[in-house]
Amino acid sequence: MNRPSPAGLLVALAFGIVFVVEGRTVLGMLGFELPLSVYFPVAGLLLVAMFVGLLLLPKTNSKQVAGT
């Protein structure tokens, strides 16, 4: 797996934020209501870790299609 382009990273970040926000709703529906002070720091850290992980991936081969 290669590092997404800047556009790909932006889109991934946007979706990550959405999943973090909606994740609390889904967890609550499943009966796991976590306090805000616990959920958002943990989910935020996970999001940052995933984003850093994406940045650490090798760069996309320049021959690949732009925007992927």
Partner 1 sequence: MNLFVDRYPEEAWIVRAALASSFLALFLGGIMGLIQGLHRTGFLQIVQDSTYYTVLTLHGVSMVLLFTIYFLVGFFQWAVTDSLDRSAEDIRFTKLWYFLMVAGTVMAAAAILGGFTDATNLEADVLYTFYAPLEAHPIFYIGLVTFVIGTWLAGVDWFRSWWAWKKEHPGERTPLRAFMVMTTMLMWYLATIGVAAAILFFILPWSLGLVDSVNSLLTRTLFWFFGHPVVYFWLMPAYMMWYVILPKLAGGRLFSDPLARIVFVLFLLLSVPTGIHHQYVDPGIAEGFKFVAMTNTMFLLLPSLLTAFTVVASMEHGARQRGGTGRLGWLRSLPWNKPAFTGMALAGLMFAAAGFSGMVNAGMNLNYVIHNTLWVPGHFHLTVGTAVALTFMASTYWFLPQITGNGVFSQRLGLVQVLLWFLGMVFMGNAMHRIGLAGEPRRTAEPFYDGVTFDTALGSISELHFQIALGSVILTVSLLLFMAHLFLSWFDVASNPAPDNGVIPEALSGPENAPIVLENLRLWTAIALVLILLTYALPLASIVSANGFFGSAGTLVGTAYEFAVSPFVGVVA
The least distance separating partner 1 from the CB of residue 23, rounded to whole angstroms, comes to 11
Residue 13-52 contact track with partner 1, rule CB under 8 A, x = bound: -x--xx--xx-xx--xx---x--x----------------
The least distance separating partner 1 from the CB of residue 28, rounded to whole angstroms, comes to 4
Distance CA 22, CA 40 (A): 11
Rg of the chain on CA atoms, in Å: 15
Q: Which two tokens stand for residue 4?
A: 């997404």
Size of the residue set binding partner 1 (CB under 8 A): 23
Distance CA 29, CA 53 (A): 29
